[in-house]
Amino acid sequence: MLGLAKEKSVVGLDIGSYSVKAVELKIKQKGDNTQYEVQKIGYEPLPHDSIVEGTIIDSTAVSETIKLLFENAKITTRDVAISISGNSVIIKKISLPAMDQQELAESIIWEAKHNIPYNYEETNVDYHVVRSPRGAEGTVDILLVAAKKDKIANYSNSVSVARKNLVAIEVDIFSLINAFEVNYPEIFKEKTVALINMGANITNVGIVEHGVPQLFRDLSLGGYFFTENIRKELNVSFEEAEAALKGIPGKNINADQFASVLTMNIRDLLDEMEKTFSFYEAGEKRERRIEQIFLSGGLALIPNMVSAFELKFRIKTELLNPFRSIKFDEKKFESIYFNEMAPVFGVAVGLSTRKAEK
Ligand SMILES: Nc1ncnc2c1ncn2[C@@H]1O[C@H](COP(=O)(O)OP(=O)(O)OP(=O)(O)O)[C@@H](O)[C@H]1O
Ligand SMILES: [Mg+2]
């Protein structure tokens, strides 16, 4: 969390540049077993261009959309956790000798000042311990997270204008990893997986090895780039390009041209992905291999995305279902949220699985 107190029972609010998603869970602890049930869920598209390159340009549009979402989904809880990603967020993995909490906190400040390419005073810094100390001489792996204060202010402003109470700020990819751990606990512990969240502006990539996060990347690529290229190449409106991308081509869409633009865009995305995967696999002397890929986010829903990954990487790929191990009453909510659209809720579910923490 980036500088805010941790609280109990919050609405996971994923403010994307295309849509806002919210999930509220009921969390029951039974011994070692945690059970989750969807209490509330909602989705609202955002007016185009209200968020550009990760910055909220039209704060009113965003706060109005949040309000509308809470109204439509009948969410009355006001405490929310949001997440951010992109250029103004940096995640660095560092290794430190095992030390006590106090010393660790001091080292983190020193490391942050030396490892983060922003002015320390303009940055909020947080850290996650990803591997516990192994014995007296052990080391501890730390994920250092730094976000620019102006980015945080930009998002928290829209949340407070919507009259919600911001209790936590996370990073998109960490929320997605949370959602994955809750829903796929056995794979989380036993395998090396690539978790990918393909949105409109940004594609978040995280590689997790037997439960330990190893590599993160935010690629400046997403559905808007696809739509923009379709619009330009086929000379159609944004709406027509958008509908075609979602698999509903209108009369102005030339099928062959569309197919070739789509193929080219997917190829570019996969090439970027390949660089990230290669960087990971070449990162250490020991052999590292991604065993499974899980796709989420709106862009993952386009026809053929899963098979394009399988064809390119020869790695088992599937859509991430953030409700796989979570109870829900399909009759109470729009059932499409738990079916076709489920992968869009990865980040929101991850944000809402937060249990009471110290
Ligand atoms: N069936 C679909 N439903 C929703 N979005 C889709 C679908 N098919 C393709 N998309 C595309 O996915 C993108 C939206 O995905 P998502 O809602 O995950 O983005 P976002 O979280 O709002 O954006 P970001 O995180 O990049 O700021 C859009 O570009 C949209 O055109
Ligand atoms: Mg998103």
Domain locations in the chain as residue ranges: 1-87+148-184+324-358, 185-322
Question: What CA–CA distance (Å, rounded) separates 112 from 332?
Answer: 46
Q: How far is the CA of 100 from the centre of ligand 2 (A)?
A: 36
277-304 pLDDT, tens digit per residue, is 999 988 776 778 999 999 999 999 998 9
Mutate which of 13, 17, 18 for ligand 1 pocket (most atoms within 8 A of beta carbon)? 18
Ligand 1 site, residue 346, Cβ cutoff 6 A? no
- Per-residue model confidence (pLDDT) at position 150: 93
User: What 3-state class would DSSP assign to 208?
Assistant: strand
Fold identical between 1-87+148-184+324-358 and 185-322? Answer: yes
Please state, as a whole number, how many other Cβ atoms lie within 10 Å of the Cβ of residue 100: 7
Ligand 1 pocket residue status of 17, Cβ below 6 Å: yes
Distance of CA 77 to the CA centre of its chain: 22
Domain 185-322 class in CATH? alpha beta
Q: Is the CB of 1 under 6 A from ligand 1?
A: no
Which of 3.50.50.60, 3.40.50.720, 3.30.420.40, 3.40.50.970 would CATH assign to domain 1-87+148-184+324-358? 3.30.420.40
Distance between first and last Cα of the chain: 12
Whole-angstrom Cα distance, residue 167 to residue 351?
A: 11
Range 305-329 average pLDDT: 97
- Averaged pLDDT for residues 335-358: 87
Contact 200, 299 (CB under 8 A): yes
Task: Kindly give the distance from the C-alpha atom of residue 314 to the centroid of ligand 2, in angstroms, as a whole number.
Answer: 26
Closest-lying ligand 1 atom to the alpha carbon of residue 299: 12
pLDDT at position 135 over 80: no
DSSP β-ladder status, 11-15 and 316-319: unpaired
> pLDDT tens-digit profile of 101-119?
888 888 988 988 988 888 8
* pLDDT confidence of residue 33: 87
Q: What count of residues does the chain have? A: 358
Residue range 65-84: average pLDDT?
A: 97
Q: Which residue has the tokens 């978040």?
A: 204
Mutate to test the pocket of ligand 1, among 339, 344, 347 (most ligand atoms within 8 A of CB): 344
Distance 198 CA to ligand 1 centre (A): 7
Residue type, 332: K
Q: Is the CB of 143 under 6 A from ligand 1?
A: no
* Binding site membership of 201 for ligand 1 (Cβ less than 6 Å): yes
Region of 294 on the Ramachandran plot (φ > 0 left; ψ -120 to 50 alpha; else beta): beta
Task: Report the separation in Å between the CA atom of 140 and the middle of ligand 1, taken as the mean of its atom positions.
Answer: 37
Quote the pLDDT of residue 283. Answer: 74
Averaged pLDDT of the chain: 92
- Kindly state if the Cβ of 199 falls inside 6 Å of ligand 1: yes
